[in-house]
Amino acid sequence: MAEELTLENLKALAERRGLRLPEDELQRLLTGVIRARRQAAELREMVAREDEPAAAFDAIRHEQNRRL
Amino acid sequence: MNDKELHYLAIAEAAAGLRRKEFSPVELTETCLRRIHSLDDKLHSFITLTADLGLQQAKQAEQELNSGKDRGPLHGIPIALKDLYATKGIRTTCHSAVLENWLPDHDATTVTKLQDAGTILLGKLGMHEFAFGGPSVDAPFPAVRNPWNTAHIPGGSSSGSGAALAAGFCYGALGSDTGGSIRTPSSHCGIVGIKPTYGRVSRAGVIPLSWSLDHAGPMARSVEDCAIMLQALAGYDAQDNASANVAVPNFQTGMKDGIKGLRVGVPRQNWFDENLGIDPTTEAVFNQALKVLENLGARIVDIDGKPFSLARKANQTILVCEAYTYHEKTLQETPLKFGSSVRRRILEGAFLSAADYLTAQRARAVLNEQIRANFAQVDVFAVPGAARPPEAFEGMDPNEQNMRPSFTNPFNLTGLPAISLPGGFTEGNLPAGLQIVARAFEEATCFRVAYAYEQATEWHKRRPDL
């Protein structure tokens, strides 16, 4: 399970990402971020070590498109 | 024919009337413009009206048709575009202050295709800002309202497309769908919209929300009209990395063949009762719709809804990560240019990790297999178009949608074609959609089932009292 965020954590993370957000905005954002992180953590239960991501680079397609 | 008879014609009917010279493209266009001028103050469905361009295109279509140059069933038909389709020299705002005065120097591939088919552009339609969040209450343009009851939302994000069609302002429209944005407003406004298979319709020139989930597609007032529009839109486009190089069938072939013996999978168990569950009146409409399908000869088969339920988590994780990536620079430099609703939703993606994103893409592969495996025992899935009737603006809880099952997300995650059509009405005379989902690249099956249902019911003939 992902670590539960506090407002202070969120503020530090936002600064590190170059986001200048007022405190009240961060406060309103906190609930949604906690939900999003919890949801992302739950997805880890669903995949096995050998499962690959759905999105894959397609060299043939890129070559074909380059030629068109 | 008077205005009242003209503005609610189906595209197929209007096309036939144009060729019989019962009316002209200019008359159709003027009818739509009169109606927009007299009623859109209530709905705010248009952001930009292109009346002069539309009339010019209508005159050209009239000359061409009179001289025997016939571009097909969309020739001379007035349409409108969700305001995230790039239109050369025409303001394209995404309903946002960020792009309030942007004049693209190119047309989206789909816009070019509709021009080549001879359509007439009436204007650009309101939406949820950048196709995300909720109704835009602090954007430079007012939020779109539902023609069935203007105190209620029309659904989003293709809100203007749904409202304009239900109000009889245009004959067809383009929407886009990343988590349900064509199908939800179709359901809430009592019209028809199809999210085609991922890769079927080019996304080139459509402002992205989430590259791997975005779908472009048509919305109209009948199933046949959606098939006509999709015919003009579908096809490989080298400008779109996700475009599928597959043959485009005639989407109307077999549309009227009926559904006798068709196996309809209903993933009710482990999904419909998720959190707050489906609204009971919406479920009653859906159950009645299943009976209609049964009476038409289909067989209803219960299937496990668990993978469909889990799809929302992967869909939302991918969506916010990709959306944040696209908007990162603007959010760092001028965050307050975004409306509060969309800003908060997109910013969620700033606080997820690369591992979160890739895990969601791995879960997508797993869920895709599990959901598609059902096609071994059924031909299509049937689910409601939305989990509840359109909410009233007043007192709306933006978080409620996360507390009910999302009947649209799984088909963005899997890329399967899904159509929403009028399924019935709930209390308060608000529309409820029926959604039919088929195997990849089998949009024709969606049209066949939807057409059979449409012809067996009267819901698509109801009009809002404006």
Q: Label residue B427 exposed, middle or buried (CB < 10 Å: 0-12, 13-18, 19+).
A: exposed
Of B401, B318, B133, B415, residue with least CA distance to A43: B318
Q: What are B48's strand-pairing partners?
A: B124
Minimal Cα distance from A28: which residue of B? B344
**Shared domain check, B319 and B189:** no
* Residue B418, domain member (yes or no): yes
Confidence of residue B147 (pLDDT cuts 50, 70, 90): very high
Of A53, A40, A12, residue with least CA distance to B358: A53
**Shared domain check, B228 and B338:** no
Tokens in use for B439?
């195997």
State the Cα–Cα distance between residues B265 and A61, nearest whole angstrom: 34
Say if residue B286's pLDDT is above 80: yes
* Residue B250, domain member (yes or no): no
* Residue B254, domain member (yes or no): no
Tokens in use for B101?
């005065």
Per-residue pLDDT at B136 = 79
Q: Which of B331, B360, B361 sits opposite A19 (nearest CB)?
A: B331
Name the minimum distance, in Å, from the CA of A61 to any CA of chain B: 8
- Percent of all residues in chain B with a pLDDT value above 90, rounded to a whole number: 95
**Shared domain check, B195 and B315:** no
Q: Are strands B120-125 and B380-384 parallel, antiparallel or unpaired?
A: unpaired
Q: Which chain A residues have a beta carbon less than 8 Å from that of B344?
A: 25, 28-29, 32
Give, in order, the Cα–Cα distances in Å from B129 to each of A29, B31, B135, B140, B450: 18, 29, 8, 10, 30
**Shared domain check, B294 and B218:** no
* Residue B309, domain member (yes or no): yes
**Shared domain check, B322 and B183:** no
Per-residue pLDDT at B18 = 97
Q: Label residue B355 exposed, middle or buried (CB < 10 Å: 0-12, 13-18, 19+).
A: exposed
Averaged pLDDT for residues B81-106: 98
Those residues whose C-beta lies under 8 Å from the C-beta of residue B229, and which sit 6 or more positions away, are: B11, B74, B172, B218, B220
Q: What CATH code is carried by the domain that includes residue B287?
A: 3.90.1300.10
* Residue B396, domain member (yes or no): yes
Does the beta-carbon distance from A19 to B363 stay under 8 Å? no
Provide the ipTM: 0.92
* Residue B337, domain member (yes or no): yes
Please give the model's pTM, rounded to 2 decimal places: 0.96
- Where among B233, B250, B274 does a domain terminate? B233
Per-residue pLDDT at A68 = 58
Per-residue pLDDT at B2 = 63
Q: Which of B241, B350, B362 sits opposite A19 (nearest CB)?
A: B350
- Where among B233, B254, B271 does a domain terminate? B233
Of A36, A11, A32, residue with least CA distance to B344: A32
Q: Which helix (H) or strand (E) holds B78?
A: strand B78-82
Say if residue A1's pLDDT is above 60: no
Catalytic residues of B: 82, 157, 181
- How high is the mean pLDDT of chain B? 96
**Shared domain check, B81 and B198:** yes
Q: Which of residues 5-44 of A touch B (CB under 8 A)?
A: 5, 10, 13-14, 17-21, 25, 28-29, 32-33, 35-37, 39-44
Averaged pLDDT for residues B341-367: 97
Question: How many domains, chain B?
Answer: 2
* Residue B3, domain member (yes or no): no
**Shared domain check, B16 and B121:** yes
State the Cα–Cα distance between residues B168 and B246, nearest whole angstrom: 34
**Shared domain check, B221 and B269:** no
Averaged pLDDT for residues B10-35: 97
Of A3 and B224, which is predicted with more confidence?
A: B224
Tokens in use for B57?
């295109």
Q: How many CB atoms lie within 10 A of CB B356?
A: 23
* Residue B77, domain member (yes or no): yes
HSE value, Cβ hemisphere, 13 Å, CA-based, for B316: 25
Q: Label residue B320 exposed, middle or buried (CB < 10 Å: 0-12, 13-18, 19+).
A: buried
Query: Over the stretch B228-243, which tens digit does the pLDDT of each residue have?
Result: 999 999 999 999 999 9
Per-residue pLDDT at B372 = 98
Q: Are strands B172-177 and B215-220 parallel, antiparallel or unpaired?
A: antiparallel
**Shared domain check, B280 and B227:** no
State the Cα–Cα distance between residues B83 and B273, nearest whole angstrom: 35
State the Cα–Cα distance between residues B245 and B236, nearest whole angstrom: 5
Tokens in use for B360?
């969601």
**Shared domain check, B186 and B286:** no
Name the minimum distance, in Å, from the CA of A42 to any CA of chain B: 8
Question: If you count residue pairs, one on A and one on B, with CB atoms under 8 Å apart, how many are there?
Answer: 101
Query: Over the stretch A6-47, which tens digit does the pLDDT of each residue have?
Result: 999 999 999 999 999 999 999 999 999 999 999 999 999 999
**Shared domain check, B164 and B51:** yes
Cβ–Cβ < 8 Å for B219, B171: no
Per-residue pLDDT at B288 = 98
State the Cα–Cα distance between residues B128 and B342, nearest whole angstrom: 8
Query: Over the stretch B202-224, which tens digit does the pLDDT of each residue have?
Result: 999 999 999 999 999 999 999 99
Say if residue B199's pLDDT is above 80: yes
Say if residue B314's pLDDT is above 60: yes
DSSP state of B250: -
Minimal Cα distance from A65: which residue of B? B238
For B82, the domain range is 12-233
**Shared domain check, B368 and B229:** no
- Phi, psi (degrees; rounded to nearest 5) at B204: -65, 125
Averaged pLDDT for residues B364-374: 98
